[in-house]
């Protein structure tokens, strides 16, 4: 009797539990369908009727795939999956489905819980599209976009940030910004700004120096804003940065040019008035000297006055040259002839412990300039070089024809693209310190001891070269030695002045080999082609790496040397070499670049022992370098 009562109580409890479960199913917001082990629909709650559009009578006994075409009973693991639901009217919707086996049932059956997530999916798709749109906008922007959290860690950045800094996503993401991008001088400043951000403040505009992966400084103009979280607390600092390094450099050049122009006008005015005074001093001195006898002690005093006047006249000529107020008498000149004509004077200016070497390129192009001014440039540079070698050394004066691209690491003044004759005055002296370089051409600036120089020598050179339409480049090393490159425009249409060959000159070395030339600049490629063809080489021309690969593959004969620029569109020089070496091992290369070799090795993946020639170069230098590489191969 007791067992019967217990069983009856358990049965009533089970019935109550089933009733509660049935109530929950009927009132649930999600569609709930039960199916047998064959997949036939057994029951169907009101939410499922609303969801699919079928009544219970219409759905009973039909396959669950009628409602959920992609559902398999093998998925009965209670895990939420995404599927597509199909309504009675044929429309589909995005569904989340949970399929579970019903435990404790007399026979195997399954429950299917279905939720319509179409709105959420559309929302997610819209959010994803918006994120993709924002990412595309950020990555196509030329400005740096950098997002930092309040601790200074990089939360987000765009492609411009990677390109300008040289850092990849692995280097930047989550890293403290001052450990990567800030220069040592500005790290504390960056920390202070981030402390301000935590308190809801930041400078809306700022300028800092950014440190690239290659160790170079780039000047960046920033626009800053704070992004708050949903509690209106500072969460991120968003900074948009524009690289103004080149712009600032141009502004500084313009300011320098304006300053030089203003000082030049002042110097020209002073020189003009001063010359009037000197005319009187010199004239009266001569008159007095003529009236005095040879033995008169006053005669020597007057001669000293005349000599002082002559030195003053020299200074005024320098001022006029600097101010570009001299009356020019330009003529077609052979620069080599100018140098040879004053060679004796230059040697007399040097001390006995200074060796003078002339390295003049044969058949040099003519220039159009004032002969006296060119002599003054030579003398001023030679005297400066002599003073930079107090312990003796070597002064080398060289000339060459060059095609200049308008930009190079040595340039200190503006220079347009074109054909030039370059005069180089090189010494083995003490060199010029980096701090002095920006002021070299300013009047009255001198690196010499007090009383040893007027500070007008290089400013005079600047004025003459600028007035002649040329430019100036400087190379100076930490361990001594300085070279001044004076670029003078080639005289178009002028006949080249002829002179006998110097004994030390030799013709450019010749060859018969086949060379593959790859250069994206049309003017540079054309001049290299003409130089190499003139000395006998067979030259194949390519504008870029892709065209070079096609030429290399289609050319039937051997290619003895690849002469290629390093930085080119589509494919760099090193990448091109790797592709060609894969087709034909042992390909030799001569890289030509406007970068220095050290910079190319460091930044552009050029091998340390690769043959290299820096632009600009003369035809003779190119021919000799090509011959050296080919002979080394042999």
Highest mean pLDDT among 129-143, 220-234, 263-277, 464-478: 220-234
Mean pLDDT, the chain, whole residue set: 79
Angle, helices 297-322 vs 245-291, to 10°: value is 160
Gyration radius (Cα) of the chain, Å: 42
Sequence-distant (6+) residues with CB within 8 A of 374 are 333, 335, 338, 464
pLDDT for residue 324 is more than 70: no
Q: Identify the pLDDT of residue 368.
A: 87
Phi, psi dihedral angles at 529 (to 5 degrees):
-60, -45
Phi, psi dihedral angles at 185 (to 5 degrees):
-70, -20
In 3D space, the residue among 96, 92, 99, 53 whose CA is nearest the CA of residue 76 turns out to be 99
Query: Tens digits of per-residue pLDDT, 168-197?
Result: 888 888 888 887 777 777 888 888 888 888
Calculate the alpha carbon distances from 450 to 238, 361, 436, 441, 446 in Å: 53, 39, 16, 18, 9
**DSSP states of 301-353:** HHHHHHHHHHHHHHHHHHHHHHTT-S---EEEE-HHHHHHHTHHHHHHHS-TT
pLDDT for residue 260 is more than 80: no
Instruction: Give the burial string for 119-154 (b: 16+ CB within 10 Å, else e).
Output: eeeeeeeeeeeeeeeeeeebeeeebbbbbbbbebbb
Across the range 99-128, mean pLDDT stands at 83
How many Cβ atoms from other residues are within 10 Å of residue 78's Cβ? Answer: 11
Query: Tens digits of per-residue pLDDT, 232-252?
Result: 888 888 888 888 887 777 777
275's tokens: 């010359």
In which band, very low, low, confident or very high, does the pLDDT at 425 lie, cut at 50, 70 and 90? very high
Q: Residues 426, 373: contact at Cβ < 8 Å?
A: no
Distance CA 463, CA 443 (A): 10
Query: Tens digits of per-residue pLDDT, 36-89?
Result: 888 888 888 888 888 898 988 888 889 988 899 888 888 888 888 888 899 989
Which percentage of the chain shows pLDDT scores above 90? 9
pLDDT for residue 550 is more than 50: yes
- Is 18 buried (19+), middle (13-18) or exposed (0-12) by CB count in 10 A? exposed
**DSSP states of 277-303:** HHHHHHHHHHHHHHHS-TT-HHHHHHH
Residue 218 pairs with which residues in a beta bridge? 210
Phi, psi dihedral angles at 554 (to 5 degrees):
-85, -20
Distance CA 525, CA 533 (A): 12
Q: Identify the pLDDT of residue 500.
A: 41
Residue 141 pairs with which residues in a beta bridge? none
pTM score, whole prediction: 0.38
In which band, very low, low, confident or very high, does the pLDDT at 426 lie, cut at 50, 70 and 90? very high
Q: What is the largest CA-CA distance in the chain?
A: 166
Q: Identify the pLDDT of residue 360.
A: 92
Distance CA 2, CA 628 (A): 114
In which band, very low, low, confident or very high, does the pLDDT at 445 lie, cut at 50, 70 and 90? low
Q: Identify the pLDDT of residue 421.
A: 93
Distance CA 550, CA 528 (A): 20
Q: Residues 382, 469: contact at Cβ < 8 Å?
A: no
172's tokens: 């930047």
pLDDT for residue 627 is more than 60: yes
In 3D space, the residue among 413, 335, 418 whose CA is nearest the CA of residue 378 turns out to be 335
DSSP state of 501: P
Distance CA 611, CA 592 (A): 9
- Peptide linkage before 423 cis (omega within 30 of 0): no
pLDDT for residue 557 is more than 60: yes
Phi, psi dihedral angles at 526 (to 5 degrees):
-65, -45
Q: Identify the pLDDT of residue 332.
A: 87
Sequence-distant (6+) residues with CB within 8 A of 86 are 52, 66, 67, 68, 69, 92
Phi, psi dihedral angles at 229 (to 5 degrees):
-85, -175
Pairing of strands 393-404, 354-360: parallel
Across the range 122-149, mean pLDDT stands at 81
Calculate the alpha carbon distances from 141 to 94, 155, 157, 163, 237 in Å: 36, 18, 11, 11, 18
Query: Tens digits of per-residue pLDDT, 485-529?
Result: 999 998 865 444 444 434 334 456 888 899 999 988 877 788 788
How many Cβ atoms from other residues are within 10 Å of residue 99's Cβ? Answer: 25
How many Cβ atoms from other residues are within 10 Å of residue 331's Cβ? Answer: 13
Q: Residues 301, 325: contact at Cβ < 8 Å?
A: no
- Is 166 buried (19+), middle (13-18) or exposed (0-12) by CB count in 10 A? middle
Residue 239 pairs with which residues in a beta bridge? 146, 224
Residue 137, CA atoms < 13 Å, CB-side half-sphere: 6
Instruction: Give the burial string for 488-520 (b: 16+ CB within 10 Å, else e).
Output: bbbbeeeeebeeeeeeeeeebbebebebbbbbb
Calculate the alpha carbon distances from 222 to 41, 143, 181, 208, 241 in Å: 65, 10, 14, 8, 4
Distance CA 454, CA 309 (A): 16
Q: Residues 613, 592: contact at Cβ < 8 Å?
A: yes
In which band, very low, low, confident or very high, does the pLDDT at 605 lie, cut at 50, 70 and 90? low
Distance CA 330, CA 373 (A): 9
Which percentage of the chain shows pLDDT scores above 70? 78
């Amino acid at each position: 009797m007791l067992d019967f009562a217990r069983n009856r109580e358990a049965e009533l409890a089970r019935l109550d539990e089933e009733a509660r479960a049935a109530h929950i199913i009927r009132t649930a917001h999600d569609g709930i369908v039960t199916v047998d082990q064959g997949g036939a629909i057994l029951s169907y709650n009101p939410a499922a009727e609303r969801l699919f559009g079928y009544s219970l009578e219409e759905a009973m006994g039909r396959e669950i795939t009628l409602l959920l075409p992609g559902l398999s009973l093998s998925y009965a693991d209670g895990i939420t999956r995404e599927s597509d639901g199909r309504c009675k009217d044929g429309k589909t919707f995005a569904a989340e489905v949970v399929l579970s086996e019903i435990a404790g049932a007399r026979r195997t059956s399954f429950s299917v819980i279905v939720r319509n997530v179409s709105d959420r999916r559309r929302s997610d798709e819209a959010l994803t599209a918006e994120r993709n749109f924002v990412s595309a906008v950020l990555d196509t922007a030329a400005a740096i976009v950098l997002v930092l959290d309040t601790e200074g860690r990089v939360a987000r950045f765009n492609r411009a940030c990677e390109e300008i800094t040289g850092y990849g996503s692995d280097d930047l993401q989550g890293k403290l910004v001052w450990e990567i991008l800030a220069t040592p001088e500005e790290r504390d400043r960056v920390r202070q700004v981030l402390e301000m951000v935590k308190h809801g403040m930041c400078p809306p505009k700022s300028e800092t120096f950014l440190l690239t992966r290659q160790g170079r400084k780039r000047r960046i103009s920033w626009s800053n804003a704070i992004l708050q979280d949903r509690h209106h607390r500072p969460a991120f600092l968003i900074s948009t940065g524009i690289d103004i390094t080149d712009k600032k450099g141009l502004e500084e050049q313009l300011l320098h040019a304006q300053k030089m122009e203003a000082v030049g006008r002042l110097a020209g005015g002073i020189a003009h008035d001063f010359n009037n005074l000197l005319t009187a001093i010199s004239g009266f001195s001569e008159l007095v000297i003529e009236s005095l006898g040879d033995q008169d002690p006053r005669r020597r005093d007057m001669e000293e006055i005349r000599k002082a006047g002559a030195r003053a006249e020299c200074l005024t000529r320098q001022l006029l040259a600097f101010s570009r107020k001299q009356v020019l008498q330009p003529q077609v000149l052979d620069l080599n002839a100018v140098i040879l004509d004053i060679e004796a004077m230059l040697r007399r200016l040097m001390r006995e412990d200074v060796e003078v070497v002339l390295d003049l390129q044969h058949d040099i192009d003519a220039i159009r300039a004032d002969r006296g001014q060119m002599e003054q440039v030579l003398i001023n540079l030679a005297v400066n070089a002599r003073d930079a070698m107090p312990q003796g050394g070597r002064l080398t004066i060289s000339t060459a024809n060059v095609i200049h691209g308008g930009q190079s690491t040595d340039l200190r003044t503006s220079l347009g693209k074109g054909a030039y004759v370059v005069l180089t005055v090189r010494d083995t002296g003490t060199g010029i310190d980096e701090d002095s370089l920006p002021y070299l051409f300013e009047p009255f600036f001198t690196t010499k001891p007090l009383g040893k120089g007027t500070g007008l020598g290089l400013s005079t050179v600047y004025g003459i070269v600028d007035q002649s339409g040329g430019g100036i480049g400087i190379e100076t090393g930490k361990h001594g030695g300085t070279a001044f490159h004076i670029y003078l425009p080639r005289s178009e249409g002028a006949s080249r002045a002829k002179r006998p060959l110097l004994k030390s000159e030799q013709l450019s070395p010749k060859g018969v080999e086949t060379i593959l030339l790859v250069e994206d600049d049309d003017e540079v490629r054309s001049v290299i082609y003409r130089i190499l063809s003139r000395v006998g080489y067979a030259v194949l021309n390519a504008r870029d790496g892709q065209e070079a690969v096609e030429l290399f593959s289609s050319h039937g004969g051997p290619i003895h040397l690849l002469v290629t620029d390093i930085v080119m569109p589509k494919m760099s020089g090193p990448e091109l070499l790797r592709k060609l070496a894969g087709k034909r091992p042992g390909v030799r290369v001569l890289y030509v670049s406007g970068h220095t070799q050290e910079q190319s090795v460091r930044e552009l993946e050029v091998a340390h022992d690769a043959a290299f020639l820096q632009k600009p170069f003369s035809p003779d230098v190119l021919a000799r370098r090509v011959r050296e590489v080919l002979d080394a191969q042999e």
